[in-house]
Amino acid sequence: MTKQKTRILVVDDEEIVRESLAAWLQEDGYRVEMAPGGEIAIERMRSGQWAVLLVDLKMPGVDGLQVLEEARKLQPDASVIIMTAYATVDTAVKAIKMGAYDYLVKPLRPEELSSMMERLITQQDMMRENILLKRALKQQYSFRDFLSKSDKVQAIFDVAKAAAGSASTILILGESGTGKELLARAIHEESRRKSGPFVAVSCAALTETLLESELFGHEKGAFTGAAFRTKGKFELARGGTLFLDEIGDISTKLQLDLLRVLEERRFYRVGGTEPIDVDARIIAATNRDLRKAIDGGTFREDLYYRINVIALTIPPLRERKEDIPLLVEHFLERLCIETGKRLEGVSAETMDLLMSYRWPGNVRELKNILERGAVLVRGPIIEPADLGLPLSEGDEGQEGAESLREMERRHILKVLNDHDWNITRSAQALGIDRVTLYHKVKKYNLKEEEC
């Protein structure tokens, strides 16, 4: 940024200091404005934007530290320099801990101020460049909001982009929390139907009868309690995309209904006689192994072929660990905005731990764990202890695989104990579904009394 574009606000109650500072800085080519006290400075911060705030520590009324505190909220991108007399250097050090860029001791020397300003502006420029670079990189590694630098996922992006432009039914496979819904939304956004609605329905959450009317709607009086004619998801998704989540969980009767609807491209409301045309792109998803379900007789093979026109399988997070740093950065950036905290990142030990963990709940679990870390962390760097993940002691050498399992076992046990063995809440905290958690409890033979 050029000096003329760098706006500086000088805050000091002494007119002579204010005026001479402003004169020096203007001579150096900066754009300077002045405020004679803390109250006015805060008022100005609400309406304008400054790159640098030069603030006197001791002022009557609202003092420098209070201005600094407000600046952190109102002008988070601004650098604050505190000015102080010798007697209060301790407070200036405190100011730095509170997020000030640096402090200057009065009486000020013009050369000292100039060189500090040069240094600061260079740093701000570098940070800005860094942000732009990161943004460009992120774009390269994303399909709408879905981020990944893994080759496997990049290949999925290519197919998904091509498929988005077609009208084909798409099947998305992947473990719980791998981003199936996010990918479905990205495909919708990328399609010609993007101005239409994206309607998601979770097939696992409802009983057979409820799901039937949820999907196809019902006429008034179709069954007890059907007081009004109601539109189903197929109708609501008109002109857009219908996302049939957890399709592996629907009953065989509904599978047959669905097969007919997909073949004939029309359906009837429950209790209705008028056929309604399907005008929605269908994207189905499941975390189940449908081939196995077909072999076991719980999923219709003909429906499988009908929905499996284009299949996209998202690999689990543990098979694309290169995505972990990318996702950590992405989630922390969002958490900074949501929590108002200044999170700079995770420590090297934390990253090691995140890289060696197995992530049974995939990206959702990573997101949940970072959210928890952002709440618990005191400083700007997230340490292993802030995450509540078990430390990876002794997971080197031949025992590697064994101890990873042990790590998962201990982690699940801890989360269960933390949530009084409430399966729903524990599953949520782990970022996995309840069924998966039940399987793990059984697999690891976990018991409530074990602590």
Ligand X SMILES: Nc1ncnc2c1ncn2[C@@H]1O[C@H](COP(=O)(O)OP(=O)(O)OP(=O)(O)O)[C@@H](O)[C@H]1O
Binding site residues, ligand X, CB under 6 A = 145-148, 174, 176-182, 287, 327, 363-364, 367, 433
What is the size of the binding site for Mg ion (CB under 5 A)? 1
Q: Which of 382, 386, 385, 384 is nearest to 336 (CA)?
A: 382
Minimum distance from residue 237 beta carbon to ligand X (Å): 18
Task: Select 232 or 248, whichever has its Cβ closest to ligand X.
Answer: 248
Question: For 434, how many CA atoms within 13 A lie in the half-sphere containing its CB?
Answer: 7
Task: Select 392 or 436, whichever has its Cβ closest to Mg ion.
Answer: 436
Q: Write the Ramachandran bin of 269: left for phi over 0, alpha for psi from -120 to 50, otherwise beta.
A: beta
* CB 244, CB 283: distance < 8 Å: yes
Preceding peptide of 325 cis, ω within 30°: no
What whole-number distance in Å separates Cα of residue 307 and Cα of residue 100?
Answer: 58
Beta strands of 219-372 (E only): which ranges? 230-231, 241-245, 266-267, 276-277, 281-286, 310-313, 345-346
Q: Position 119: which residue type?
A: R
Using DSSP, state whether 203 is helix, strand or coil. coil
Task: Select 75 or 191, whichever has its Cβ closest to ligand X.
Answer: 191
Using DSSP, state whether 183 is helix, strand or coil. helix
Task: Select 184 or 261, whichever has its Cβ closest to Mg ion.
Answer: 184
Q: Which does 240 bind (CB under 5 to 8 A by kind): ligand X, Mg ion, none?
A: none
Q: Which does 174 bind (CB under 5 to 8 A by kind): ligand X, Mg ion, none?
A: ligand X
Task: Select 92 or 200, whichever has its Cβ closest to ligand X.
Answer: 200
- DSSP output for 111-169: HHHHHHHHHHHHHHHHHHHHHHHHHHHHHHTEETTEE---HHHHHHHHHHHHHHTS---
Minimum distance from residue 334 beta carbon to Mg ion (Å): 19
Q: Which does 32 bind (CB under 5 to 8 A by kind): Mg ion, ligand X, none?
A: none
Q: Which does 433 bind (CB under 5 to 8 A by kind): ligand X, Mg ion, none?
A: ligand X
Extract the tokens encoding 169.
């039914």
Which residue in the shown chain puts its C-beta closest to Mg ion? 181
Which residue in 13, 14, 70, 181 binds Mg ion (CB under 5 A)? 181
Minimum distance from residue 45 beta carbon to Mg ion (Å): 42
Task: Select 181 or 406, whichever has its Cβ closest to Mg ion.
Answer: 181
Minimum distance from residue 245 beta carbon to ligand X (Å): 6
Q: Position 392: which residue type?
A: S
189 lies in the binding site for Mg ion (CB under 5 A)? no
Minimum distance from residue 208 beta carbon to ligand X (Å): 20
Task: Select 88 or 148, whichever has its Cβ closest to ligand X.
Answer: 148
Minimum distance from residue 432 beta carbon to ligand X (Å): 7
Task: Tell me which residues touch Mg ion (CB under 5 A).
Answer: 181
